[in-house]
Amino acid sequence: MSTYKRATLDDEDPLDSIGEGDGYPNGFQVNFCGPRSSLGCWAQRTRPEKQLMVLVAVLAAVLAACLLGLIFQYRARPPAVCLSEACISVTSSILSSLDRAVNPCEDFFGYACGGWIKANPLPDGHSRWGTFNNLWEHNQAIMKHLLENTTANVSSEAERKAQRYYQACMNESKIEELRAAPLMELIQKLGGWNITGPWAGDNFNATLQKVDQSGLGLPSRDYYLNKTENEKVLAGYLNYMVQLGMFLGGTDEESTRQQMQQILDFETALANITIPQEKHRDEEVIYHKMTAGDLKELAPAVDWMPFLSMVFHPVELNESEPIVVYAKEYLEQVSDLILATDKCLLNNYMIWNLVRKTSPFLDQRFQDAEEKFMEVMYGTKKAEEMIAEIKTAFEESLETLQWMDEETRKSAKEKADAIYNMIGYPKFIMDPKELDKVFNDYEAVSDLYFENVMQFYNFSARVTADQLRKPPNRDQWSMTPPTVNAYYSPTKNEIVFPAGILQAPFYTRASPKSLNFGGIGVVVGHELTHAFDDQGREYDKDGNLRPWWKNSSVEAFKRQTACMVEQYSNYTINGEAVNGKHTLGENIADNGGLKAAYRAYQNWLKKNGDEETLPTLGLTNHQLFFVGFAQVWCSVRTPESSHEGLITDPHSPSRFRVIGTVSNSREFAEHFGCPLGSPMNPPKKCEVW
């Protein structure tokens, strides 16, 4: 290691050894005076000394003035402006989305998205539209091009299977020729359907084992229970059921309607015993571990061992097999309902679920019927670096939390460190041999679309069953690569970002860091925070559901989240309130994600210095961070779609995902100069992470 040597004057002549006139060749002499009489000292100076001292003083003053001028000039000089093609393009996009007539401190969503909303009316056939949809359509166009390019040199058999699957889907003449025959044949194999013909009542248990019980046909129990409010939807749903029944061979519309009404009544009975979504959030309460044998006593209406053996074939099961049951009371009540219901009605209900799920893969009549019902119902490597930066920022925030005890804080940091990142796509996709190995058990025929779909359902079920008694497989993703979304898995403690979301407006290499941190950075922070929301916090760093928090921190967490429940419950759309409890997990993630991403951006600026600003916007890069975040959520919806979202979606409406988070951000209020008490800078702010 190099060391620095301290200079000494040991080898030099002492100062007082300099004799008069000897120290300098020209006889110039400098005398030292004591502090007592400065005037006397000046008087003792020679004329040349006085002139030199005055000159030095003047030069020092000039130098100081120059330095001060440079400092003030540097501070006053605005940051450099980025004029690259990418910066001009993104500036144009931001400008077109802004509405400058709106005060950002009054309504930041309107300010950031007003221009976009005016320029993007709802497309025909859609009940909602946003930036996610634009990006999804772009991804779909790319996929379409790849699947249709049959002349390309395809190295993988799995890719050829995908092309055959696509060809079958696009073979409309064959689909129209077959009409309802594929589904009718499947129904006959399952014992028949009383709505379209005789059914084998003596084979009911076999039917039960072959058909998955899917619950409700409508998105939420509220549609069934609030009949007055949803009368139009329920009537449309019944008409849709009758139409499909007639398409599949029903001969008497009156009889078909009567039996479909019975199915609808049965679904209503199910809705009555279904647990509200907000009560599903505490997994420690609804999680019940038992054995397969215990299921017989809990829900005797189902012959569980044959059913489970069929699902997980060829794995051999016995009654000691561990089973996890969510909502134990619900399963008990479902069993009672099954025992009290006529077998013919149960068969009708289960076959209806099969019909509802598979009819979109039949001819145009079925698609038209579904579309008509939907109209009634909805009213028509840099990524790795950024994830690491967001993690660091999140862990820094952990250190500042006042409400969390040290032991729990330490465990929370360990969990954050242990979160596994999945980016782009599973590794096996790029290896033709591995890809073929994964899809070896699946076959696709180029002119049988319905059969391809059914084969894929069976293939997916086999893949799922194959995971029994095995550790979590990180190569199995819950989303496909083109998906414009991301997710956190609590049982695997992993965050997943498909390739579909790793592009504008969320992320581009050429965009300012402020936009990337405000876009994909907030998404990363959102998913990371899910590990510590009201559900994710119940799982430890290894994905095990166990109580790893101290009670004091649990109670403090509940107090912090109560503020957020109250805040979001006060937001309304068309006079209908947001459910602050149901949306709590996503609201925690939205707020924590914004905070972590902004902190990470600040850390980046400290390390790299100011970046260039975008031209003509008149926005600082700090303001641009918040604008970039908000414009991701620009969207429009019909009133019916908004209602459906309020009762089914665990996310708050887009508008409140923006204003709910920025109104809790002190940094937002500071950079936009929002006065205290303005809508976007309320005195009371909610903060969890």
Q: Which amino acids are annotated catalytic?
A: 527, 590
CA 473 to chain centre: 21
Q: What would the DSSP string read from start to end of 595-659?
A: HHHHHHHHHHHHHH-PPPBPSSS---HHHHHHHHHHHTT-EEE-HHHHHHHHHH-SSPPHHHHHH
CA angle at residue 314 from 311 to 319, to 5 degrees?
65
> Do you find a cis peptide bond into 505, omega within 30 degrees of 0?
yes
Q: Please, how many CA atoms are within 13 Å of residue 68, restricted to the half-sphere of its CB?
A: 6
**Strand ranges for 359-419 from DSSP E:** none
Q: What would the DSSP string read from start to end of 512-543?
A: -HHHHIIIIIHHHHHHHHHTTSTTGGGB-TTS
d(CA 161, CA 156): 9
**Strand ranges for 260-330 from DSSP E:** 287-291, 322-326
Assign 495 to helix, strand or coil.
strand
Pairing label, strands 572-573, 576-577: antiparallel
Assign 66 to helix, strand or coil.
helix
Structure tokens at 150: 């049959």
d(CA 213, CA 216): 9
Contacts of 421 (CB under 8 A, 6+ apart): 384, 387, 494, 495, 497
Bridge partners of 324, per DSSP, are 289
Contacts of 401 (CB under 8 A, 6+ apart): 409, 689
Q: Is residue 164 within 8 Å of 439, Cβ to Cβ?
A: no
d(CA 321, CA 244): 40
**Of residues 377, 357, 328, the one with CA closest to residue 642:** 377
User: Exposed, middle or buried by CB within 10 Å (0-12, 13-18, 19+), for 677?
Assistant: exposed
The 3-class secondary structure across 164-207, one letter per residue, is HHHHHHHCHHHHHHHCCHHHHHHHHHCCCCCCCCCCCHHHHHHH
The 3-class secondary structure across 612-627, one letter per residue, is CECCCCCCCHHHHHHH
d(CA 564, CA 258): 46
Q: Is residue 349 within 8 Å of 267, Cβ to Cβ?
A: yes
d(CA 497, CA 387): 10
Alpha helices in 312-358, H assignment, sequence order = 328-339, 343-358
d(CA 651, CA 670): 27
Structure tokens at 676: 């205290």
CA distances from 527 to 423, 597, 606 (A): 13, 11, 25
